[in-house]
Amino acid sequence: MSNVHRLRLSDRIVFVTVNLRPRIKRFSDFDYPVIFKVLETSRRRLGFLLCGYVLMPDHWHALIWTGYPLLMWQVLHDVKQVTTLRFHALRRSQGPFWQHPFGDRLVRHEKEFNDRRQYMHLNPVRKGWVKRPQDWRWSSYNNFALDKATVAGCPLQIDYVRLPEGYRA
């Protein structure tokens, strides 16, 4: 569950988890590009860094770095609001779409950043959707490939960051 204090911080990386409400139809391969488009549009408009992500049928995770004065709650409010409107238009539905509380955790150091990124990328494997993380198109895993063509083929490019020396949240 979200900690309101963390939502008021800037210049930090936060690992977020956003879940669909229980009775909402799960995402399919046709739905993921909608979420990518919203993430990309929000990222350009608000100016946050997207350091990693995975989209799953009933939730998504992301590593997001907000720069001052942007706050995490503003990013999540924007993404959730716009995706809700888009999916309601596509599905001809209405009402709450995302669960209100969401998970968020400050990333305190480089090891935790790498651990969270690995957790995200292995999520589709753990759930049995694919055998290898590189086979799940809806994550940032292939953004880290050494092959430039593989990176170029990713549906959403991430922001590559180097954590400042002694990074502490």
- Domains of the chain (ranges; CATH) run 4-152 (3.30.70.1290)
User: Between 9 and 127, whose confidence is greater?
Assistant: 127
> pTM score, two decimals?
0.90
**Cβ(125)–Cβ(28) under 8 Å?**
no
Confidence of residue 22 (pLDDT cuts 50, 70, 90): very high
pLDDT tens digits, one per residue of 43-99: 999 999 999 999 999 999 999 999 889 999 899 999 999 999 999 999 999 999 999
User: How far from chain centre, in Å, is Cα 36?
Assistant: 9
Structure tokens at 73: 């709650």
Structure tokens at 141: 């895993």
Confidence of residue 168 (pLDDT cuts 50, 70, 90): low
Q: Check whether 7 has a pLDDT greater than 60.
A: no
Structure tokens at 87: 């999916």
Half-sphere exposure in the Cβ direction for 72 (13 Å, CA): 26
**Cβ(91)–Cβ(25) under 8 Å?**
yes
